[in-house]
Structure 1
Amino acid sequence: MPSVSSSRLSQPILAGVITALVGYLSSFAVVLAGLQAVGASQSQAASGLLALILTQAVCGIALSWMTRMPITTAWSTPGAALLVGAGGAHFGWNEAVGAFLVSGALIMLTGLIPPLGRLISAIPEKIAQAMLAGVLLQLCLVPFTALGTIPQFVGPVMAIWLVVLAFAPRWAVPAAMAVALGIAVVSSSIQYDAAASLTRLPRLEWVVPQFSWEAITGIALPLFIVTMAYQNVPGMAVLKSFGFRAPWSASMIATGAGSVLGSFAGGHAINLAAISAALAAGEEAGPDRSRRWIAGVSSGASYVLLGLISGAIVSVAAASPEGLIPAAAGLALLGILGASASRAFSDPSQRLSALLTFLIAASGLTIAGLGAAFWALVAGLAVRTLIERKTLKS
């Protein structure tokens, strides 16, 4: 009997640990690239990474404990990719942090004000997916351009990614990230001070947010939309597919509040986990569904431990050969790009608006200080309303 009880506990605990490892290793490079693209220094990016880890850990543990459901949380990976695309805009780190705060407040409001959630749901899925695909395109091209400039570094990463993808797809990106970090450690000449910093605990750097219309329209609104459309809504759907009806309002209020709090230390957004959520909610967490909530708690606790090494991760990434970590980040986003593009262009009657949205988002266009993601949404919605509406009604 004790061995059976131990097994019933160890399976969801292990599932939570794996959920955190996959979530962290699959996309930490994307987060670092996004934060640095909008003005964060190395230490500020490390602070933002730590803020995201801690807030999502607390939210995941609290939601899982209170609801007795395996509700796992994560940072917004597509949101981080969006930041890379917004990096050419003319605003500073403090303004970017102000935009993070606004985005988190909007997520909170979707929990407090149900009509706002319905308004976001009213944005056509094809246009939202096309915007995300366009934002991701440039970053997903990096591995292949880097293969021509630093093949000795990127080649092994891509080879490992392809091999693991053939046999254990879920671990392909984490394996590629691990190899990239290993190459970074071996190939880079890390000086003594940098090496010593690997043993220091990371710390939060508080930022005074500033607000500008350009940052709100260029970062906050697109970040809010992709986080809701590509993370929170699918995250709810994944939980529902395993028989768990997570509370929408409580989840949005918790992750929105976590995003607001984390923004003061440079975190861009946290949300319900989507792809990795299945690891904690599915059979991997054990046959007893009533105990799978333990996986949510275990995942949050594991993130806290991963947060302790976030400073080391950032130091190694900063000392890596130029282009290596962005290339690994691009590999991490290929799956999301493929899924987004497939959904965006699946309906011929909505293909024109999706195509225009995709091209503008990928172009890096900036007009009147407003970024490409904003104009992509405007153009896509305009084409859908003025041109495609008649076709959709018929």
Structure 2
Amino acid sequence: MTLPTARSDPFGPPDGLAALRPLSRLAYPDGHLGWLAGGHAVVRVVLSDPRFSSRTELKHPPVPMGQGELGADLVRPGMFVHMDPPGHTRYRGLLTGQFTLRRMRRLEPRIQQLVEAQLDAMKREGPPADLVTAFALPLSSLVICELLGVPYADRERFQQASAVVMGNGSTGEEVMRAYASLYACVGELVAARHTEPADDLVSGLLATDELTDEELINVSLLLLIAGHETTANMVALGAYRLLVDPGQMTKLHGDPAAAVEELLRYLSVVHIGPVRVALEDIELEGEIIRAGESVAVSLPAANHDPGRFENPDRLHFGRHASGHLAFGHGVHQCLGQQLARIELRLAYTALFRRFPGLRLAVPPQEVMMRTDMLVYGVHRLPVAW
């Protein structure tokens, strides 16, 4: 079995994925025979058991990718998501101090300002608008640039390069060029912060005196790409889901925080991977995963597991969606999850408060989905009001 990617429901998991729970054999594009983990409990084990490695050089990608030539860059110092403890632990410890809930809450008024300013600009331009380019992408860029200290003037350069790096259809040469552009952009920021510190994450990490410039650049690159792509696609895809079911709007405004958790679970935009590799023979669900075999984790399958969530294929804002795995699990769980929650809550509530008559400007079947990207969402979302 190869990894299912086709969807009859643009908001639900890929067709056929449910039948592969909790653990199934998976044929990888490069000929490797590994596994797919889709049960909620199994996914938690794979993502938390130290016998499963995150090291890039050991993994086999579950879909064809143009990132093969990028392998050497992904194991450079600072690329901690591709490391195992104890190397990973050092970087994670330094960053945890920069992502405290208190610091994220301090950013909330500024994020609110950015949301309102972006909606002001969209309103001035008038309908119709593409909600991706008019709101979701620039807002996500503004927030992550605010956190790291990246000049917003560099946003277009960053957006274009990160889209190439994250695209399944990108060639190896395209990925390398885009990655070099991102590296140069962040390198310029780090150099500037040596002489002009500011109240941002890059300056905070420099002040620890624990990282080389190369490490700091690579750490920042990871945060830029991860924070930008995932949140932007959640904003747009969540808005699309609400627009085709306007009855959910009242429930959204009634408890925005709970609605965000349910949207995170229901949509699960990180729809391909992560991947782990068994470091030794491991028995799981009555199967033996041999040392060296890759295990692709399906977060959509886990978040729609009926063994964990009742009636999981229904979007239900009254549900207690805690325990979902949209941010992963274990030592690699998303560092920026509290920032993402704040951004999503403010974005959804302000969007539908400011534009109560917001509607799709095209039939739903004409909205193009991002099935060709590592992060799921919409390529464009034409709206009117």
TM-score computed with the length of structure 1 as normaliser: 0.29
More helix as a share of residues:
1
Structure holding more strand per residue: 2
Say which structure, 1 or 2, has more relative contact order (CA 8 Å, 6+ apart): 1
TM-score between the two structures when normalised by the length of structure 2: 0.29
